[in-house]
Amino acid sequence: MGEKKPTNGKLEKLFITQAKKTDERQWLSEILNIPLQQSLNDLNQAPPNFFKSSCLGERKGKAIKPPKFKKGKSKQAGRFRKDGFKIYQNKVYATKIGEIKIVWSRELPSQPTSATVIQDSNRSFISFVVEIQPEKLAKTQSVGIDLGRKTFATSRLGK
């Protein structure tokens, strides 16, 4: 008790670098370091987020549930920073994954800062994080009337 929390550098050395040298974890060498480092960052951030949100009330937003271990699932995911992927017209190249064909659901408003690749048994999905400038919305007044469980009525009163 009373030990200091290990730094990200120590955790990376222990859980990524040293793990790659073992026989049962040698397959980690085939994976790009960025998603592995991001997993450690997420692991490092989960307890403070939980305690600030749920216990101390310091964090804005809805309360967070305690961190839990992921269960083995059929889908895999990896998050890439902007140097870990390149976007072409109808495909994305992710380092150590290769080319992924894309069907765009909409145009990106700006260059992405990161991408998350999710693969299940036979499909891949990519979500991008982009920065946008917030738009000023026109001021309106909204009125809601609760009519029961199945019906909800609204009326907009503009100025």
**Per-block average pLDDT, block size 10, for the chain (159 residues)?**
76 82 83 77 77 69 71 72 87 84 88 86 85 84 68 55
| Predicted TM-score of the model (pTM) | 0.55
pLDDT of residue 151: 61
pLDDT of residue 130: 92
112, 128 Cβ separation under 8 angstroms: yes
pLDDT of residue 40: 82
pLDDT of residue 157: 56
pLDDT of residue 129: 92
pLDDT of residue 128: 92
50, 59 Cβ separation under 8 angstroms: no
pLDDT of residue 156: 56
pLDDT of residue 26: 83
DSSP 121: S
Secondary structure (DSSP) of 98-158: EEEE---SS--SS-EEEEEEEE-SS-EEEEEEE--PPPPPPPEEEEEEE--SS-EEEEEEE
Give Cα 59 to chain centroid, integer Å. 18
126, 108 Cβ separation under 8 angstroms: no
pLDDT of residue 112: 92
